């Protein structure tokens, strides 16, 4: 497949999500022939940084298949050094020009951060990354958790944008775009988020 520019890649994600939400998914590139075609090389058209939540599977909700997406999943869709390095790999070595940070409705990590409960061990590191998003969402009209999920996406987009010289260079020289999305579990639709 020819590598897509950022806008074409975003359009492809949106079209796939629309098919999924309308229960018209085509399940492309999900057969043995595609597996064999991508066995020795990959050319994903987008990176999706999403949550580990079992209800949020990018290949399904964007109606894509084997080799189409470079997916990074961590509870609360947090972005640390390992995640940023994975994105840099996809951009530098695979030619990807679109990165989507994807939050979702009813995120458990955000709920835990909003509860103020004392968490221990490694879970605390996940919650700590979303605490700032909860703080930014407090006092805004609407649902605190939904607003905090969206704030978290904005913070993570910003972190990717300013903390990686590789991604910054690709955005200036190669047209890389970092976008945000909010997946509504009730409708199946992904709403775009600007920061």
Identify which of 53, 87, 77 has the alpha carbon closest to the alpha carbon of residue 149. Answer: 77
Residue 182 lies in a domain: yes
- Residue 100 pairs in a beta bridge with 48, 179
pTM: predicted TM-score of the whole model, two decimal places: 0.94
Residue 63 lies in a domain: yes
Cα dihedral angle (43, 49, 50, 52), rounded to 10 degrees?
Answer: 80
Q: CA-to-CA distance for 186 and 114, rounded, in angstroms?
A: 21
Q: What is the pLDDT of residues 111-165, one digit of tens each?
A: 999 998 877 788 877 888 899 999 999 999 999 999 999 999 999 999 998 989 9
CATH number of the domain encompassing residue 102: 3.40.1050.10
Residue 62 lies in a domain: yes
Q: Name the domain count of the chain.
A: 1
Residue 177 domain boundaries: 6-26+44-143+155-193
Residue 149 lies in a domain: no
Lowest mean pLDDT among 17-21, 75-79, 112-116, 172-176: 75-79
Residue 106 contacts residue 51 (beta carbons within 8 Å): no
CA 3 to chain centre: 19
CA 112 to chain centre: 20
Residue 173 lies in a domain: yes
% residues pLDDT > 90 (the chain): 84
For residue 176, pLDDT over 80 is answered with: yes
For residue 194, pLDDT over 90 is answered with: no
β-strand 177-183 against 190-193: which pairing, if any?
Answer: antiparallel
Residue 33 lies in a domain: no
Residue 136 lies in a domain: yes
Residue 83 lies in a domain: yes
């Amino acid at each position: 497949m020819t590598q897509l520019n950022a806008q074409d890649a975003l359009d492809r994600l949106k079209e796939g999500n629309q098919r999924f939400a309308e229960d018209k998914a085509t399940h492309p590139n999900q057969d043995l022939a595609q597996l064999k075609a991508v066995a020795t090389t990959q050319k994903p058209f987008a990176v999706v940084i999403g949550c580990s939540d079992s209800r949020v599977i990018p290949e399904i909700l964007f109606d894509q298949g084997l080799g189409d997406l470079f997916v990074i999943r961590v509870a609360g869709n947090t972005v640390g050094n390992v995640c940023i390095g994975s994105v840099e790999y996809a951009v530098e070595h695979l030619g990807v020009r679109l990165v989507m940070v994807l939050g979702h409705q009813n995120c458990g990590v955000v709920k835990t951060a909003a509860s103020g409960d004392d968490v221990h061990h490694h879970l605390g590191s996940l919650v700590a990354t979303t605490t700032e998003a909860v703080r930014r969402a407090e006092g805004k009209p609407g649902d605190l958790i939904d607003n905090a999920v969206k704030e978290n996406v904005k913070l993570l987009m910003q972190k990717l944008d300013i903390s990686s010289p590789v991604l910054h260079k690709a955005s200036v020289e190669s047209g890389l775009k970092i976008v945000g999305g909010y997946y509504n579990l009730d409708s199946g639709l992904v709403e775009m988020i600007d920061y």
